[in-house]
Homo-oligomer: A and B are copies of this chain.
Amino acid sequence: MNQETDKTIASVGRPGLIRKIAGYSTYRSETVVKGIGDDAAVLAGSETRLGLLSSETFVEGVEFDLSFMPFHQVGAKAVSAAVSDIYAMNGLPRAVIVNLAIPNRITLDMIDDLYKGIGMACADYQCQLAGGDLTGSHNALIISVSVYGDVDKEKIVYNSGAEIDDAICVTGDVGSALAGLKVLLREKRHWEESGDPIMQPDLAEWDHVVKRQLVPVARKDMVALFHDKGIRPTSMIDVSQGLLSDLQRLAGNSKRGAYIYQSALPIDLQTRKVADEMQEDVDKYALYGGEDFELMFTLPEKEAEKLSKINSEFTVIGKITAKDGLVEMQTGEGDVAVFGGPAGS
């Protein structure tokens, strides 16, 4: 075996792997307006609308832990994560297909509960559970959610349209889903160490971050606002991999750079408290956390200012620069940290 053969996936990273995969997408269908590289594939639809298609897979023990996540929350979260990709294109989800690979230990009642969560989330996002596939699994429960949505041709937003000097906006707060996970894992450890099977952790103090981990909500409200006010961001992406990684992708795909202010990162007080207790750097939670399912979008500065007067659900964290693929962050101390790395995909 040569070194190339032996290469691990970690060594090329996720963006590298996605670029590699794109190399095997050689057949071009007229139906596909935009393939690999954005939150959803874009499909030719009617005269006025485009179709959107995205899919996500969730593996027990990787994306979710059944020891502290009830089945209905697992189901709802999977749907939220999937529809978030449609909102990131400024579209609306319409239909969801759910595939399950089910190990033997999972009972009918558990599956029932899982689908209750899926059904409720579908109703929340106004999309129909329209099919799925069922198969077995030796170990982990595996959930794949595919979502079809659509968007007016003039309203579609790609992750590649950011312009120099645009304001970079982020909805809600970031890093809280990771903070919630840290709290839940700590409580799980306490519970395991206590040997008391009925011990119930008191999570009231951490309600916000725990909720953000267990039942994140995709930002349909922001897309509704854009549609309502006739606002079309120049670019948009959902914050699912982590703010920095998603910003690098947006900047790289736009062939632009980004300059952000560490002090402007929207971090909830509870997230700060978790990081304090864990003796960790809260900015790392915000930059690398992932699973926040917030929307990051860019708008000309004046439009962002105007929008901020009617809506307080987002924060301006910086602006787009001409430096292709480069993300710079002005720290609290006034230094500038530079993140190059793999941009775009």
- Across the interface, which residues of B come within 8 angstroms of A62, CB to CB? 101, 135-138
The A interface, classified by DSSP as helix, strand, loop or mixed, is: mixed
Determine which of B12, B25, B46, B146 lies in contact with A146 in the assembled complex, contact meaning CB atoms within 8 Å: B146
Q: Given the interface contacts A116-B24, A131-B53, does A95 sit within 8 Å of B144 by beta carbon?
A: no
Cα–Cα, bound, A9→B5 (Å): 41
- Does A132 lie within 8 Å of B21, measured CB to CB? yes
Contact with B along A107-149 (1 / 0, CB 8 A): 1110110011011001100111111111111111010101010
Quick one: which of A1-60 are within 8 Å of B by CB?
4-9, 11-12, 14, 17-18, 20-21, 24-29, 31-32, 35-38, 40-41, 43, 45-47, 51, 53-59
- Does A59 lie within 8 Å of B136, measured CB to CB? yes
> Whose C-beta in chain B lies nearest to the C-beta of A124?
B27
Quick one: which of A90-114 are within 8 Å of B by CB?
94-95, 97, 99-102, 104, 106-109, 111-112
- Across the interface, which residues of B come within 8 angstroms of A53, CB to CB? 53, 95, 97, 130-131, 146, 148
- Across the interface, which residues of B come within 8 angstroms of A12, CB to CB? 108
- Does A115 lie within 8 Å of B29, measured CB to CB? no
Q: Given the interface contacts A59-B101, A99-B57, does A26 sit within 8 Å of B123 by beta carbon?
A: yes
Cα–Cα, bound, A28→B96 (Å): 11
- Does A99 lie within 8 Å of B9, measured CB to CB? no
Given contacts A29-B94, A139-B139, 10 further A-B contacts (CB under 8 A): A4-B109, A7-B109, A9-B108, A27-B128, A31-B148, A32-B95, A35-B129, A36-B129, A59-B135, A62-B136
